[in-house]
């Protein structure tokens, strides 16, 4: 439509800004968008002039995008990870990923709300609440969770507040909200996208990646941003042979070998039923399915992952604060002290015991950390996903992304029953979730997990499945499942 002149970037941007105002802020009050970019219209005007003069920066020239609020932008918008302790902080420059967005010609529409500190603050948190942004709500039923921590990113794209968003993931923070909000989320190989300038949790697990309503849209955004960043050592090490130019083939599943991780579906018989229906579809499209009953290491990974995250969070946050001297707090301990001094506003519903546990760790030279990291890699890679891929020779593994969305609960926190994010997250491997079905009108996603740096193959399989099913349904912003 933009190519034939039916829409301009300015018109499209204005339509989305109006929809955010009427749907997100004054309609159902989704609280998905934490801040609007005051420069959005100006950016769109520039891109329209370029299009008129025959210049297109990428296939996404003039398309609006919203990014998660823990990602630095060198503009008028804040970067706080949802924390009141960082309220008012505006980064001095764009991070690498945002620079790539601008160079690709996307319109930076605003920033999305998130679970505060990417949901690494309390064991009883609501993973979609932040001190700065409040509670993000599920667009299907407003009293239910949108999961997190990339809650605003998933809700914004699900509710059509924008066509594309960017979230971040350490373990489940993209795929869980994508699955629960009925959209596509890609969690790429650690290092495919730069992480520099993003308020971190984990050096070994963090990624930043796209969310969209279709596989193709998400893949296009992944494609234009994937590039090595000299400031992110993991990004520099990405495979030189990585090629994510796509041949969109609806028959990509024909002849594909798929491993079904049945153990990850047994937490809910309704979820398992949806997976069985998905398997029937895969088989009908020519895929060969191998059922993998048990992955014994899955029960062991969590203990060591937790140690790694506590150590890496402290190191990462302290480094971020050091490289942003404009922030008045100089270390994690000072952030904790701010919350204690402003508990009525910063901690009205839950505390900060995870921050406090992280602050008790030493540094990344400690044997406890190094041993836990080595154990994570052994269990998730050598004895985990790499072993599964070697033993069964699948093109991808599949598992349910999520169970049905639970009620928002500030007393007990999240009621997460099951999912499949940990294996790929700890190993650093890619995964992609696609809408697969519903439990009482609540979306369930199907995850495809693959080899490191093999996003292209994984996305093609997910696209073929999506084209065969089209399970996504638009949300209707109903107050409650129990309201007639």
- State the catalytic residues: 68, 149, 173
What are the tokens at 296? 């014994």
DSSP-assigned beta bridge partners for residue 198: 71
DSSP letters, 375-402, are HHHIIIIIIIIHHHHHHH--SEEEEE-B
Q: Which candidate, 426, 400, 172, places its Cα nearest to that of 264?
A: 400
Tokens of 197: 């300038």
Whole-angstrom distance, CA of residue 72 vs CA of residue 97: 9
HSE (side-chain half, CA atoms, 13 Å) at 340: 9
The phi-psi region of residue 432 (left if phi > 0; otherwise alpha if psi is between -120 and 50; otherwise beta) is beta
Distance CA 354, CA 202 (A): 14
Pull the structure tokens for residue 245: 């130019």
Q: What's the start-to-end Cα distance of the chain, in Å?
A: 39
Segment (H or E) for 180: helix 175-180
For 213-251, list the strands marked E by DSSP.
none
Q: Give every CB contact of residue 39 below 8 A, 6+ residues apart in sequence.
A: 75, 76, 108
């Amino acid at each position: 439509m933009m190519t034939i002149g039916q829409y301009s970037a300015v018109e499209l941007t204005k339509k989305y800004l109006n929809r955010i105002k009427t749907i997100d802020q004054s309609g159902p009050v989704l609280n998905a968008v934490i801040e609007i970019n005051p420069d959005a219209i100006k950016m769109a005007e520039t891109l329209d002039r370029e299009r008129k003069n025959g210049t297109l920066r990428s296939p996404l020239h003039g398309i609006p995008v919203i990014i998660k609020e823990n990602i630095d932008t060198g503009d008028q918008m804040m970067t706080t990870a949802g924390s009141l302790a960082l309220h008012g902080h505006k980064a001095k420059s764009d991070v690498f990923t945002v620079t790539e967005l601008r160079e690709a010609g996307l319109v930076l529409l605003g920033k999305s709300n998130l679970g505060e500190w990417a949901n690494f603050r309390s064991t009883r948190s609501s993973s979609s609440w932040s001190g700065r942004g409040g509670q993000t709500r599920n667009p299907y039923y407003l009293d239910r969770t949108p999961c997190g921590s990339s809650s605003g990113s998933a809700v914004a794209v699900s509710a059509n507040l924008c066509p594309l968003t960017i979230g971040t993931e350490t373990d489940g923070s993209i795929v869980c909200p994508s699955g629960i909000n009925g959209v596509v989320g890609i969690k790429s190989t650690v290092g495919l996208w730069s992480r520099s300038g993003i308020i971190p949790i984990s050096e070994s697990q963090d990624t930043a990646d796209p969310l969209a309503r279709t596989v193709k849209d998400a893949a296009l955004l992944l494609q234009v941003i994937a590039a090595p960043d000299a400031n992110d050592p993991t990004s520099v090490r990405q495979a030189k042979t990585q090629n994510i130019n796509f041949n969109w083939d609806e028959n990509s599943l024909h002849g594909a070998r798929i491993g079904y991780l049945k153990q990850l579906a047994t937490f809910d018989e309704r979820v398992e039923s949806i997976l069985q229906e998905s398997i029937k579809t895969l088989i009908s499209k020519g895929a060969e399915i191998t059922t993998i009953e048990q992955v014994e290491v899955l029960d062991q990974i969590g203990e060591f992952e937790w140690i790694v995250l506590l150590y890496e969070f402290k190191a990462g946050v302290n480094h971020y604060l050091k490289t942003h001297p404009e922030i008045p707090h100089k270390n994690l301990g000072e952030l904790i002290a701010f919350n204690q001094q402003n508990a009525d506003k910063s901690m009205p519903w839950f505390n900060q015991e995870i921050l406090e546990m992280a602050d008790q760790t030493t540094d990344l030279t400690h044997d406890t950390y190094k041993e836990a990291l080595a154990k994570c890699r052994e269990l998730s890679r050598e004895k985990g996903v790499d072993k599964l891929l070697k033993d069964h020779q699948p093109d991808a593994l599949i598992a349910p992304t999520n169970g049905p969305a639970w009620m928002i609960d500030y007393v007990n926190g999240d009621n997460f029953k099951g999912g499949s994010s940990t294996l790929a997250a700890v190993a650093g491997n890619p995964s992609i979730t696609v809408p697969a079905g519903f439990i009482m009108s609540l979306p369930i996603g199907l995850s495809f997990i693959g080899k490191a740096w093999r996003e292209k193959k994984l996305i093609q399989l997910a696209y073929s499945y999506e084209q065969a099913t089209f399970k996504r349904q638009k949300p209707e912003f109903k107050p409650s499942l129990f309201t007639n």
